[in-house]
Amino acid sequence: MGATYHQFCPVAKAMELFDERWTLLVVRELVLGSKRFNDLRRGLPRMSPSLLSKRLHQLSAAGVVERRTVGDEVHYTLTDAGLELRSVVEALGSWGARWIGTLGDSDLDPRLLMWDMHRRVDTSAVPVGRTVVKFRIRDVQQRAGDWWLVLDGHDVDICDVDPGFDVSLTVSATLRGLTEIWSGDMSWHEALRAEVLGISGPESLRRGFPGWFVLPRTSDVRRALPGRPSISSADS
């Protein structure tokens, strides 16, 4: 499959596996906890199912991934070798967060963003009972810009069609703004002040809302570049 470098160096041997497109992103998804084929797909929207299938086979052959049937579900999990790739993924993520400049428009994807947000909800921080957050991504055309996050106990669902529940809170944002919050380039508070973000609903929910999410680890990485421009605030 992957071509060999004909080198004994362990970096080269490792890269024989990981220099293939998508491979390390599949690992990233598994590190983040996705186990099922279609969940992996949601985290890798542009990847074709056949290629995902192929990569899972390769990773399995390499001893990184294990495929198991659990009840009537198929689970892909990391082996011990795979778990130790977390350090590689984190090193790359930290480097990327520090050194990659402003994202291009084509890197912004509401589906992927909402999928990532939905899986990083801290359910213990959300009020008891059902809470429904409607997201409106202002600058994305109707269909793709409306999302409903349904929180209920430990269940977190993200829908791109109206599930029909009463909406507890409505969040409006630009795609870039919400992505920059999520990336750690801007705080929720800064975004509100800059009006790339708006939250409407009962004050207690509005205040609590930012705390319902655990930002990705890379959001904490100190930026080396002037980087993805945060709101250059004259005050504060």
Partner DNA sequence: CGGTATCCCCGTCGATACTG
Partner DNA sequence: CAGTATCGACGGGGATACCG
Write out the residues near DNA by the rule CB under 7 A.
1-3, 20-22, 36-39, 46-51, 53, 56-57, 67, 73-74, 76
Nearest-angstrom CA–CA distance, 25 and 30: 9
10 Cβ contact list (under 8 Å, min separation 6): none
Q: Which is nearer to a second copy, 81 or 144 (CB)?
A: 81
Closest to a second copy by CB, 201 vs 216, is: 216
Read off the DSSP letter of residue 87.
H
Of positions 91, 122, 123, 200, contacts a second copy by CB under 8 A: 91
* Cβ contact 41:26 at 8 Å: no
Show the CA angle centred on residue 23, arms to residues 17 and 29, nearest 5°.
135
Q: Which does 57 bind (CB under 5 to 8 A by kind): a second copy, DNA, none?
A: DNA
Per partner kind, with CB cut-offs from 5 to 8 A, the member of DNA, a second copy, none near residue 1 is DNA
Distance CA(155)–CA(129), nearest Å, equals 11
Q: Report strand pairing: 197-200 vs 169-173.
A: antiparallel
CB atoms within 10 A of CB 184: 19
Among 54, 58, 77, 88, binds a second copy (CB under 8 A): 88
Residue with the two structure tokens 């630009």? 174
- Site mask, a second copy, residues 105-124, x = CB under 8 A? -xxxx--xx--x--------
Which of a second copy, DNA, none does residue 78 bind (CB under 5 to 8 Å by kind)? none
Residues of span 18-37 touching a second copy by CB under 8 A: 18-25, 28
The answer to whether residues 17 and 58 touch, using CB atoms and an 8 Å cutoff, is: yes
Per partner kind, with CB cut-offs from 5 to 8 A, the member of DNA, a second copy, none near residue 163 is none
CB neighbours (10 Å) of residue 206?
16
Binds a second copy (CB under 8 A): choice among 37, 165, 182, 188: 182
SS3 209: helix
Which residue type occupies 124?
Answer: S
Q: In this complex, which beta carbon is closest to DNA, that of residue 11 or of residue 234?
A: 11
- CB of residue 78 vs a second copy: minimum separation in angstroms? 12
* CB neighbourhood size of 26 (10 A): 23
Residue 48 contact partner, candidates DNA, a second copy, none, CB within 5 to 8 A by sort of partner: DNA
Binding site for a second copy (CB under 8 A): 3-15, 18-25, 28, 45-46, 63, 80-81, 84-85, 87-100, 103-104, 106-109, 112-113, 116, 179, 182-183, 216, 218, 221, 224
